[in-house]
Amino acid sequence: MSLQSEIYDAVKKTNPNIYRIDEVFGIAELLGHKQSLAERKCRLLVHAGLIEAVRNEKKYIIGYKYIEPKPFIILKENRQENLGFALPAYSGR
């Protein structure tokens, strides 16, 4: 498995607890990667909304926490078939 998926699975398994940053670095070392790559993969997971960075009072990241996915709500759209006006044709320019 990839480093990113290994980190995500490890953080998910520790839910609701915090997965410490040194444990993330341990995963990277076991897989033969640098710590900087592990940090980058964690940032990608945070940006995707899959995990959350936990910071101390000095704003340093001390670990990561799993975010439970929210259920999707499907809304029905009320559309009128004839809006009473025509859209201009696309000329392709």
Q: Which domains does the chain have, with CATH numbers?
A: 3-65 (1.10.10.10)
* Residue 16, pLDDT score: 85
* Residue 72, pLDDT score: 73
* 21-42 pLDDT per residue, tens: 999 999 999 999 999 999 999 9
Rounded-to-integer distance, Cα 20 and Cα 55, Å = 11
- pTM exceeds 0.85 for this model: no
Q: Give the torsion sign (CA, 78, 80, 83, 86).
A: positive
* Residue 89, pLDDT score: 58
* Residue 69, pLDDT score: 79
User: What residues of the chain score a pLDDT lower than 50?
Assistant: none
